[in-house]
Structure 1
Amino acid sequence: MKVDSVAQRVKFVQDALQRYGKNLFLGVGREVNHPENMLYNLFGTSVVGSTAVLIPRSGQPAIIGASYDEGNLPAQVYEVIGYKTSFLDALSPVLRRMEPASREIVMNFSQDEAGIDTLGHGLWVNLGELLSRYKILPGDDVISSAFGRRTEQDLQYMRRAIKEGQEILQMALSNIIREGVTETQIAEYMRGEARARGLGFAWAEDMDPIVSVGKNSLYSHHRPDDTKIKSGEVLFIDFGVSYGPPGEAQCSDIQNMSYVRKPGESHAPAEIQRLFQVALEAKNTGIVMIAPGVRGTDVDAAAREIVHASGYSAPDVEGYDHGFGHSLGRTSHEIGPGAFPPWSRYGRMAEAVFEQGNVVTAEPSVAHPEIGKVALEDDVLVTEDGHEVLNRQQTEIWYV
């Protein structure tokens, strides 16, 4: 990773410590080899041995790494401290030197946010005695704030990913999507175009894009199979690509809906048109609320009320069993504020408040048991005084 990118993320951690009144973040990991790991973005490189970053609210941060990793650690950002035989012996004096008066330390674990929960139980056990004098706090608030913000460079990469992804979808609609073609054939075509452009995938390649016909679309994360496109059915595509160098690439994540007309049809049946309009209204209702200081759960509630009032979904979760949207960045489900209902499965993520620089998806859905699901998804940037939709929005049914 570029040193400037590491320095910017460290600065975001310090900003978040200031915002939440905390004084020290301690991030610990080992065998950190993938850019999607949040620690990779703080270490600035892959590491093999146990490694720790100590980032105070202000002042010089430190990084402790094994001797065979030490030469790759960003000395322009951190005080670099190497060790040969004992990670704990190297960490202990640095931790004592930097410990806050409160003895509160924020660490890289979370009960609710998988992207933050990178510590690992084994390392936690190893650290037990050393950390026994401290009050250890989960990283939900601080790390969500620090990693949910996109830099100007991030946004350049993301805008490019969105542009490329939407071009590939339009190519698929023009060149391959027609009656008789299978979900798998459509997915393979789109993956091939992404590879030809040198793009990465926003989630597991074998599931990106999600292509589902008719009732298959009732399962949001349906794996494309040999189901053929048939006239009179809806076609749902959820596609995301990534663009940028390793460790810095940013993702797109966009859903669109089409209808395969029967011979002689000029428009979709009234029921499908109504499903589309409800999904569109719910999405737009949520988007107009997005701004700094707004709670994600309030955005979710406003959009969810539109769906419930339509009669397509019961007041609990039937037919709309997910949140309004999630954070987007290095991964399709980036660490950061989203818009979720106050269900136990979302935990503290449902308490998120938007900040300038967040990017959140907008993707409420409407389902009909005999037709399938209609969902439209946009990628929305939280700006200084509101929001900006980064992609071209679908405002009417597309016809095949």
Structure 2
Amino acid sequence: MILHEKADQAQALLTETGLDCWLTFARETELHPDPGIEQVVGANVVRNSAFLFGSGGERVAIVANFDTSAIRAKGVFREVIGYDEDVRGPLLDALRRLDPRTIGLNYSSDDVTADGLTHGQWQLLQQLLSGTPYLDRLTSAAPLLARLRGRKTPTEVDRIRRAVAVTEQIVGQITAQIRPGVSERDLAVFVHARFAERNVPPAWAAEGCPIVNCGPSSDVGHTYPSPTIRVEPGHLVHIDLGVRLEGYCSDLQRMWYVRRPGESAPPADVQRAFDTVVRAIDAAAALLRPGVRGFEVDAAARTVVVEAGYPEFKHGLGHGLGRAVHDGGAMLGPRWACYGRNVDTVIEAGNVFTLELGILTDSGLVGLEEDVRVTPAGCEFLSDRQRALVLV
């Protein structure tokens, strides 16, 4: 069971990250999901709840009495304590028994998947711990959460791999639908029908999954398929899509070129842009291995694009992939302020990333995205790479 795999990982990570205790403090988690809850608890709670992992192997859950049954059923916590009126008493009792020198909380200015503690809960926790020695022992658990989320277990990798395989099956059905007169919205509707056939939800909000771009007039980025922009001869068709399978995501971008009458190949500028994108992904994949930092992998791809005479792409090369399509932790991106310290994170075996970038041409966007796993030896592609434009 993945919850137990991740709980065992978390226990080991306490020592590795210098924490004596990891405390997830949350309430009404259906309204305010916390990354820690998703990783190691697996059930929603209503009242103020505390989930503690101790460096000595302790696992303590303190929840409202009416939430104890659901927490016990998951089998992660060795001790489940219920309360009716106030969490303070049982929380302080647990901390006295553990007596941790450092207590990690779920907050981060860089990594959204490590930033589950709300400001209100932070203020409440300060009130609960007022007058105790534990208030001065609080620190961020972001390093633990980043590694916990980033180091995918074999079970997690298997789910991502199968999500990728389903996505590639759907991609294989799209080519026959691409023809002059078909709108971006038409192609999106077709993809949604394929999701429904396989009983898989999209990896992100359905309104924008898939992203569909037909030709040079289409808005690029996180946009919605247009009902009025239609495929024409000479257009590039770019589709960005993913599915969620058993809680884990895929994220791929694929390309087609619609030939004009008499054309047997894409125009030279389109082919050159496509080849540059492929080479940039090659360069990143060749460098991606344990021990390098995210910004270094991004730079390898970015250099290929710039040296080919194109503007640098205005986004990071790749993001983590897993429970979320943007899964947090280490990021493959440039050292821009918006990415914080995530791009300085050291890459580890078990990380799963996307490798993605695009180049604009007069025929539309050339964009590719592949899903990869970091192994002890380097980089494994989980997707069947696209190395040639599909001609329609």
* TM-aligned CA deviation for residue 165 of structure 1: 0.7
Mark the CA change 1:343 to 1:252 in structure 2 (over 3 Å): closer, same or farther. Answer: same
Distance change >3 Å, CA 291–CA 172, structure 1 → 2: same
Q: Match of 2:213, SS?
A: strand
Q: What is the CA-CA distance between 1:58 and the residue it aligns to?
A: 3.4
Question: How big is the shift at 1:365?
Answer: 2.3
Aligned counterpart for 2:358 among listed residues 365, 373, 380? 365
Q: Does 1:354 align with 2:316?
A: no
Task: Give how far 1:73 is off.
Answer: 0.5
Checking the alignment, whether the CA contact within 8 Å between 2:21 and 2:52 is kept in structure 1 is yes
Counterpart for residue 231 of structure 1: 233
Equivalent positions of 1:42-61 (< 5 A) are 42-61=40-59
Per-residue CA deviations over 1:87-141 (Å, capped at 9, x if unaligned) read 223212212322323xx22111111222221111111111123346224323331
* Contact 2:249/2:324 (<8 A) preserved: yes
Which residue matches 2:124?
A: 126
In the alignment, does 2:390 pair up with 1:383? no
Residue 192 of structure 2 aligns with an amino acid whose one-letter code is R
Matched, 1:333 2:326: yes
How far apart are the structure 2 equivalents of 1:35 and 1:7? 23
Structure that is richer in helix per residue: 2
TM-score, structure 2 normalization: 0.93
CA distance in 2, matches of 1:111, 1:307: 31
* TM-fit CA distance, 1:21: 2.2
Preserved contact between residue 105 and residue 135 of structure 1 (Cα < 8 Å) = yes
Equivalent pairs, count: 384
> Matched residues, percent identical?
35
1:312-361 Cα offsets, whole Å, 9 max, x none, are 11xxxxx5111110000011111322211111101021112111111111
The match for 1:316 is: none
- 1:243-281 deviations in whole A, cap 9, x for unaligned? 11xxxx211101111111111111111111111011111
The aligned counterpart of 2:141 is: 139
Cα 1:184–1:35, aligned 2, differ >3 Å: closer, same or farther? farther
- Cα distance in 2 between the residues matched to 1:73 and 1:204: 29
Distance 2:323 2:85 in 1: 34
Q: Supply the AA of the counterpart residue of 1:178.
A: R
Q: Is the 8 A contact 1:212 1:222 kept in 2?
A: no
Measure, in 2, the Cα distance between the counterparts of 1:58 and 1:384: 29
Deviation at 1:229, TM superposition (A): 0.9
Of 378, 384, 388, the residue aligned with 1:392 is 384
Distance 2:16 2:27 in 1: 29
Q: Secondary structure at the match of 1:73?
A: helix
Aligned AA (1:158):
I
Provide the secondary structure at the position in 1 that maps to 2:62: strand
Distance 1:328 1:394 in 2: 19
Q: State the distance in 2 between where 1:179 and 1:157 align.
A: 36
Aligned-partner Cα distance in 1 for 2:257–2:33 = 35
SS in 2 for 1:267: coil
Alignment-mate amino acid for residue 77 of structure 1: V
Would you say 1:12 and 2:5 are equivalent positions?
no
Q: Aligned to 2:104, which of 86, 103, 106?
A: 106
Deviation at 1:27, TM superposition (A): 0.9
* Structure 1 range deviating more: 216-225 or 270-279: 216-225
Q: In structure 2, do the counterparts of structure 1 residues 120 and 87 end up closer, same or farther at CA, with 3 Å as the change threshold? A: same
**8 A Cα contact 1:183 1:213, kept in partner:** yes
Give the Cα separation in 2 of the matches to 1:217 and 1:339: 27
Output the CA distance in 2 between the equivalents of 1:287 and 1:36: 33
Matches for 1:208-357 after TM superposition, within 5 Å: 208-215=209-216, 219-226=220-227, 227-244=229-246, 249-313=247-311, 320-357=313-350
Does the CA-based 8 Å contact 1:13-1:146 persist in structure 2?
yes
Q: Per-residue deviation at 1:34?
A: 8.2
Q: Deviations over 1:367-396 (max 9, x none)?
A: 34x443322111111112222101110001
Q: Is the 8 A contact 1:88 1:127 kept in 2?
A: no
One-letter amino acid of the structure 2 residue matched with residue 196 of structure 1? E
Q: Distance in 1 between matches of 2:367 and 2:98?
A: 49
**Runs (5+) with no aligned partner, structure 2:** none
Matched AA of 1:55: F
How far apart, in 1, do the equivalents of 2:31 and 2:261 lie? 50
- Tell whether the 8 Å contact from 1:35 to 1:41 is kept in structure 2 after alignment: no
Q: State the Cα distance separating 1:217 from its structure 2 match.
A: 5.5
SS of alignment partner, residue 366 of structure 2: strand
TM-score (norm 1): 0.91
Q: Would the aligned equivalents of 1:201 and 1:208 in 2 still touch at CA under 8 Å?
A: yes
Q: Distance in 1 between matches of 2:170 and 2:383?
A: 13
Residue of structure 1 aligned with 2:70, choices 68, 72, 79 = 72
Shift of 1:218: 5.6
Secondary structure of 2:347's counterpart equals coil
| Post-superposition offset of 1:19 | 2.1
Higher alpha-carbon deviation: 134-143 or 60-69: 134-143
Alpha-carbon contact 1:380-1:390 (below 8 Å) kept? yes
2:314 aligned counterpart, secondary structure: coil
Q: Secondary structure at the match of 2:244?
A: strand
Indicate how the Cα distance of structure 1 residues 74 and 295 shifts in structure 2: closer, same or farther if over 3 A, else same: farther
